[in-house]
Structure 1
């Protein structure tokens, strides 16, 4: 299975409702998509969202990095898989989203070459998962309404975006909790929006109301490890590290310094599946649970993340793969099936993706 060509293009999928966090507001998914074509007729699919405020990646930087790396992949055989992953990771520094897109497509092809779905190649597991749903920052009334609608649609795990205003954030959580009830699991994501003092104050105030939080995600700035340590040590609620962790080295530092209780793995931060697997292995050694998450992604990379989660369910205990559920339409022919919170993986070889609607070709790499 020889790599002959890499197509680089773009897809645009409107969101059902604008996605608002402490960092940004987005109205549609506009991701770079790559298709690696081989001499056997097999195609591997990858995807990368431009999340400049988190990964530093833009459309242009992703296209540039994919072009630079992709030229080194042309003519290579999928059988030399580990060498291909080395090329992706070592040709250029950083550019984690571009690397993730290429790795996802390569893993797709590698699993196809073995005629197995990716999750079985990665270790097996069940092909069913359950995800939470994100509630964007908005007025309290809108967030309560969105939460109730999510519960009506079968979601019993909600990730609430906060980090705009500390007192209003506390009121948001209290109002949502009172509306949905104690049977619904609440997760908070401050997206680096609080200081350490604000985090401790807000979390303790929420705990005083008798609200049991599943976790609080990245309450302080990504590089404020001391702040993360302080928050983690002073509150009862588990603290989850997201933007603080891009690499296996980051994971080791956070774990050893006890800066978080849970690690969030996102393929766009790790640069793909290979480093995500290393982080999972580290967390297994230290007995630290993981969550698998996503950016605003239309489905290809979420499908890959779901396969990874299915294969490593003993350590990936939380699923936050709601990107496609936030989209107004599904551009994929194949891949995962989503029915409310339920995710079902295809048992077709690789990722099981056959085609992408709305794919706009930007360039061919030959």
Structure 2
């Protein structure tokens, strides 16, 4: 099977409600879709959202990278030689990890189809079902409590609470409010999105521990580049600390792990540049005895399906933050993973199992 054609399209899907974090507010999920067509007519899909505040990638930059730089490397190449093909894509330019991720997942989609296996089975097949958390975006404490109760009523057992947008005291109010609304049995994890300073992160997490708020983990409490600060927080508290924006590449993962700067790592395909490098990040973490979570940006079921296949394939990926499609007001994807509340099931079709995408214009 050789790649015959590479096409890019834009997609824009409104969210049910604005999604707010310490870094940005999203009302529309905008992304670039990639469609690879093989010489036998089979099609592989990929997706890359524009997440300027995290990856630095804009829609025009993603389109140009795929169309002008990566397309010439792909056309005419065998999908079975995916190792060399994806190495060439990764070497083709510095950065542009989102564009690389979209191409990468489309190549893996075709590879799975060529082998006649769902991608998660081809990559290891450790799990046949996942359960995602549900994210409560940052807002007024009472509103966050109401959102949390609504998610629990929908069957979610794990909530990811966004904090870090304003004062640490306000964040503590939010966390107390959510815990009061949902009770002691629901798992709560926090994501500060780099929004705290080192000393206030230590002080506030210790306060949560003293109050018995039952926080499972705190994700990226301090600035992504401040590994010394991240380690200081990790060393000073009992609550597990997860690195997210601090880890884009296998090299970043190795640096965090060598320093013991975090207890856990969040893998996102848009950071790593796709499954090829994500597998390496997870393998390095596993060698250090550090578990990983799989997450996503605000993406449709194209990209999230690829992330879910990776998570299902790897035993060391033990936490799943894949609720992004549930935040969208429409679903243009035919096939792919299927949601029943918090549960994610996989299609029987080979590859990603995506049959098509109803293309929408921005």
Contact 1:265–1:291 (8 Å) recurs in 2: yes
Aligned pairs for 1:108-187 (under 5 A) are 108-164=109-165, 165-187=167-189
Deviations 1:133-187 (A, max 9, x none): 1100111111000000000000010000000221010010011101101110000
- Does 1:5 find its partner at 2:5? yes
Deviations 1:287-333 (A, max 9, x none): 10100000000111110110010010x21110001110111121110
Aligned pairs for 1:213-224 (under 5 A) are 213-224=215-226
Who is 1:45 aligned against?
Answer: 45
Who is 1:333 aligned against?
Answer: 334
2:234 to 209, 225, 232: 232
Aligned pairs for 1:188-267 (under 5 A) are 188-267=190-269
Return the alpha-carbon distance in structure 1 between the equivalents of residues 345 and 80 of structure 2: 28
Per the TM alignment, residue 127 of structure 1 is displaced from its structure 2 partner at its CA by 2.1
Contact 2:12–2:361 (8 Å) recurs in 1: no
2:189 is paired with a residue of what secondary structure?
Answer: strand
- Count how many residue pairs are aligned between Structure 1 and Structure 2: 360
Return the alpha-carbon distance in structure 1 between the equivalents of residues 38 and 147 of structure 2: 44
Who is 1:296 aligned against?
Answer: 298
2:172 is paired with a residue of what secondary structure?
Answer: helix
Aligned pairs for 1:7-22 (under 5 A) are 7-22=7-22
Return the alpha-carbon distance in structure 2 between the equivalents of residues 143 and 187 of structure 1: 14
Return the alpha-carbon distance in structure 2 between the equivalents of residues 10 and 112 of structure 1: 25
TM score, norm. by length of structure 1: 0.97
Who is 1:364 aligned against?
Answer: none
Return the alpha-carbon distance in structure 2 between the equivalents of residues 60 and 260 of structure 1: 34
2:274 to 269, 272, 275: 272
TM score, norm. by length of structure 2: 0.98
Per the TM alignment, residue 360 of structure 1 is displaced from its structure 2 partner at its CA by 4.6
Who is 2:357 aligned against?
Answer: 356
Gaps of 5+ in 1: 362-366
The CA RMSD measured in Å over matched residues stands at 1.0
Per the TM alignment, residue 206 of structure 1 is displaced from its structure 2 partner at its CA by 1.2
Per the TM alignment, residue 125 of structure 1 is displaced from its structure 2 partner at its CA by 2.4
Contact 1:265–1:293 (8 Å) recurs in 2: yes
Contact 1:69–1:92 (8 Å) recurs in 2: no
Contact 1:163–1:191 (8 Å) recurs in 2: yes
2:176 is paired with a residue of what secondary structure?
Answer: helix
Q: Which runs of 4+ in 1 moved over 6 A?
A: none
Who is 1:317 aligned against?
Answer: 318
Contact 1:188–1:213 (8 Å) recurs in 2: yes
Return the alpha-carbon distance in structure 2 between the equivalents of residues 122 and 320 of structure 1: 20
Q: Which moved more, 1:153-162 or 1:200-209?
A: 200-209
Contact 1:212–1:237 (8 Å) recurs in 2: no
Per the TM alignment, residue 358 of structure 1 is displaced from its structure 2 partner at its CA by 2.7
- Does 1:284 find its partner at 2:282? no
Per the TM alignment, residue 359 of structure 1 is displaced from its structure 2 partner at its CA by 4.1
